[in-house]
Structure 1
């Protein structure tokens, strides 16, 4: 994991490591957080200082930690030797594999994020993961493409995470096949979108046509 942490992040990491075994059995709740604080030797005041949002803050911190681990794994590989589809598939898989032996904890976290008081947090964390993946892959897109790529990958990651956590096999063959299909669908969509964009490049500008119609086609 990342070094040179702030004092606050060091404390959050200690709480995270302490809560994982509790969350696996009892879920992400205040009782698990209290037990983790006790195990980490922290007072209630310290927990409130470092986690102003309670256990939800710790879920968010865990997600960012997994993002960092995945990013490091992605950046260690020679991506230039891969095709675009292979790069994206590899990167998503690195993020899924970062969960490691804590799959039950991840299931419990996903359930916790569905509760009303966590509205929006789950989507934000998925967006952060998608953004991390594209940045780690060196994506140069800006403006509209920047957002569409992340929105598309967010959908891919969310569905692939469900398949990953549902696949109880050791090799994750079904989950890997699901991920490959989803990436394939996205790449096909991108191919069609590029073809449409190319075909439309030679067409008249609609905005210009509408401006001319306003005054009559005979005017320049």
Structure 2
């Protein structure tokens, strides 16, 4: 993430301030939740104007959480130039990217837990899904995915679910070095890889034109 000591908050636009201040708010959310108190404390800590900071988060907690996730997305993109993972297999690339995100929030488990609870509220569900999709999309792009067919969507949906499930384990993981979380992540990725292999064998040369409804229909009414 960006070192806050090198930033001039007074010269930032609201969009820039939102992303730059988000990690500071996240650190305070451990104690104060994703609240105005956390926002003001964060602004004071870095010398930003608290009233201006409030203008950067008109949507309250969800704006703060979203900005924190954007900050992690941007840091991940900077940390993974193409040459860093070019020699890795796809599953290894995905694991490295998720591992980076877990490391980015290590020590902030309570902030993640509180953020997850807020995002799970019915009124926030749609935005939470959009946010998860965006991060999954960034990870797949960094991993080199160029799919434009239905795989583009299924890959992102599956990765978003893996990441969310791993985070759920991560926040309560008391094992040394978060070994339980990383083992859980590896099992989930292995499961998806096995599914993808089985799917490829099933679809064969027609994979780009695969229809779930047609497939289910054939199971019920086999062709003669």
TMscore range, shorter length:
0.7 to 0.9
Query: What CA distance in whole angstroms lies between the structure 2 residues aligned with 1:41 and 1:73?
Result: 27
Tell me the secondary structure at the aligned position of residue 65 of structure 1: helix
Please identify, of 158-167 and 10-19, the stretch whose mean Cα deviation from structure 2 is larger. Answer: 10-19
Aligned to 2:222: none
Report matched runs for 1:73-112 at 5 Å: 73-75=79-81, 78-112=84-118
Q: Could you give the per-residue CA deviations for residues 166-216 of structure 1, whole angstroms, max 9, x where no partner exists?
A: 212331111111000000010011001100111768xxxxx9xxxxxxxxx
The DSSP-based 3-state class of the residue aligned with 2:171 is: helix
Q: Could you tell me how far apart the structure 2 residues matched to 1:42 and 1:117 are? A: 30
Contact 2:40-2:50 within 8 A present in 1 as well: no
- Structure exhibiting the larger radius of gyration computed from Cα positions: 1
Unaligned runs of 5+ in 1: 202-206, 208-220
- The answer to whether structure 1 residue 123 and structure 2 residue 129 are counterparts is yes
Root-mean-square deviation over aligned CA pairs: 2.7
**Distance in structure 2 (CA, Å) of the matches to 1:85 and 1:18:** 32
Question: What is the TM-score of this pair, normalised by structure 2?
Answer: 0.78
The equivalent of 2:166 in structure 1 is 160
CA distance in 2, matches of 1:76, 1:169: 32
Counterpart contact for 2:39–2:54, Cα < 8 Å: no
TM-score if structure 1 supplies the norm length? 0.79
Distance 1:143 1:75, change over 3 A: same
